[in-house]
Structure 1
Amino acid sequence: MNDFFNWSDGNHFIHLPTVCNFFTWYNGRKGNQLIEKRRDRVLCNVDLFDACNIAVCNTLTKYKSDHYPLMLTCNFEKVHFRSRFKFLKMWSLNDDCSRVIKSSWDTMVTSCLCTSWTENLEF
């Protein structure tokens, strides 16, 4: 299993967490004999996150199997929103306004929101 994780990490794949059941396989036994594992996974890369605004992996009801089927749902529709940012003319009259704007435009951004979000996912 470590080889698989090394391969997926080395290729910058992201393991999507499952919604509903964390474990995707069980041995069909009960009590102390029960064994559950997360054997099935959905992997994606940053390009998928850049292309869609929602990517969710759900476990479905298992039927005649010891595995829970996985369903990947992606929404590729562009999200339109109104910016709440307002720039009032009076701000330009303030002596510090030009300095604040210049310093913020000179600040280098090292990651996009999606990258920051995926770095904080727990697996």
Structure 2
Amino acid sequence: MGITDPYAAIYEFAGHAFNYVHFTHILFSIVFAVAYCVLVEKFPKITLWQGVAVGILVNIAVHVITLPILGLTPPLWTLPWYEHVFEFVGHALWFWSIELMRRDLRNRITHEPDPADCCDSCCSK
């Protein structure tokens, strides 16, 4: 068993019971999305494959390395194959959707070219 019991910590909001692990997952999702959007402004190359590459790296860093080391998930080889596929595809689609939203919102707010689309010869800094 891991270092925490995900069923032990429950909180209630608006008459509904929520698991703290679920809340933590949402919080991490928001933090990773905001961090990605901020980092893209400084390092536009991380938008590789419209953010899918970062999604794959986050999946590996979190679900393949960090969570098993911390004992928060079972060992990888005990999980069914479809769990690995679900996490891989889910993280890729998650960051792709973040990138689509980031580009659209940035364009609507700034009306400037996206740093990921610029090169030295076409964009002035």
TM-score normalized by structure 2?
A: 0.22
Q: Highest relative contact order (Cα 8 Å, sep 6+), 1 or 2? A: 2
Quick check: which one's helix share is greater? 2
Question: Which has the larger Rg?
Answer: 1
TM-score normalized by structure 1?
A: 0.22
Quick check: which one's strand share is greater? 1
